[in-house]
Amino acid sequence: MEIKKSFTDTYELANGVQIPCIGYGTWQTPGGGVTRACVKAAVEAGYRHIDTAYIYGNEDEVGEGLRDSGVSRREIFLTTKHWVTERGYEKTLAAVDTSLKLLGTDYIDLYLVHWPCVAKVSERWKEINAETWRGFEDAYKAGKLRAIGVSNYQQKHIEALWETCSVKPMVNQLEFHPGYTQIDTVRWCQNNGILAEAWSPLGSGAVLKNEALAAIAAGYGKTTAQLCVRFALQNGILPLPKSTNAARMAANKEVFDFEISEADMKAIFALPELGFSTYLPEDAPADALAE
């Protein structure tokens, strides 16, 4: 597997679009000017790939922070996500326009289905997901979206989409960090031309306090957070670390001057479950399951 060599390297999506290999995440980054300032600081720290979602409620501030940074829109890779209440063809087309307006831009680089509709919610789950995806495809063909993908999908949900789609999902963003890797889904995606992205690559909380990880990181003169970001990259995954602190934003991308050994990779994979959010498509928070 090819491992990215520098922060400015990109992954190539199935349609040829290049995506910067580390993104800045904004889940739970609050409003009231915080997200705006953080996004500006992230761009100043060198990030050119910003990840948000309609449900984060901060798309407007992400757009403001990007404009404050003074860096041209063309140099930024911007991802946002479609929320579960907007499922279906027409509502999806409207959701794209809403996000474009909130972000203050005329195109989105990558638009993701935030959660699949699942069998537990509706026996029509396949049809509902297919109709949503048809909206994605048409907005993509209209040039509003440069790339389209999914998030929190398992193999069965993607295979179901393939039955009716004309454009295959190019990305699957899922929870991935030491202590919770979903590695079978990750490998299946990668073997099928789908880029796996990691949300919560630092597994906020328990993972960062884990002593075994701290000891491995110290062996490389690195922090546990840097070890986590590197662990994603060495698995061919695109990590989306987040921090509201400028020094940590900068530190989290200093991961190209060391390589985790094979033995340490194995030791990390062998860790017991750690920092799992408990969010899975079938047991996600109730609103994430809405039809």
> Mapping DSSP to helix (H, G, I), strand (E, B) and coil, where does residue 249 land?
helix
**253 touching ligand A2P, by CB under 6 A:** no
The H-or-E segment that residue 174 falls in is strand 171-175
> Mapping DSSP to helix (H, G, I), strand (E, B) and coil, where does residue 9 land?
coil
**245 touching ligand A2P, by CB under 6 A:** yes
> Mapping DSSP to helix (H, G, I), strand (E, B) and coil, where does residue 12 land?
strand
Q: Which stretch binds ligand A2P (CB under 6 A): 83-91, 155-163, 244-252, 281-289?
A: 244-252
The correct pick among 242, 253, 260, 288 for binding ligand A2P (CB under 6 A) is: 242
Angle, vertex CA 126, rays to CA 121 and CA 128, nearest 5: 70
Judge whether 97 and 70 are in contact, CB under 8 Å.
Answer: no
The answer to whether 56 is a known catalytic residue is yes
Number of shown-chain residues binding ligand A2P (CB under 6 A): 17
- Please identify, using beta-carbon distances, which residue of 251 and 260 lies nearer to ligand A2P: 251
**173 touching ligand A2P, by CB under 6 A:** no
Binding to ligand A2P in span 202-241, by CB under 6 A:
202-204, 208, 223, 225, 241
> Mapping DSSP to helix (H, G, I), strand (E, B) and coil, where does residue 11 land?
strand
User: What gap in Å lies between CA 54 and CA 103, rounded to an integer?
Assistant: 10
Q: State the CB neighbour count (10 A cutoff) for residue 33.
A: 11
**84 touching ligand A2P, by CB under 6 A:** no
Q: Is 265 exposed, middle or buried (0-12, 13-18, 19+ CB in 10 A)?
A: middle
**185 touching ligand A2P, by CB under 6 A:** no
Catalytic residue, from 47, 56, 140, 180: name it: 56
- Please identify, using beta-carbon distances, which residue of 139 and 186 lies nearer to ligand A2P: 186
Catalytically active residues, by annotation? 56
Contacting positions for ligand A2P (CB under 6 A): 25, 200-204, 208, 223, 225, 241-245, 248, 251-252
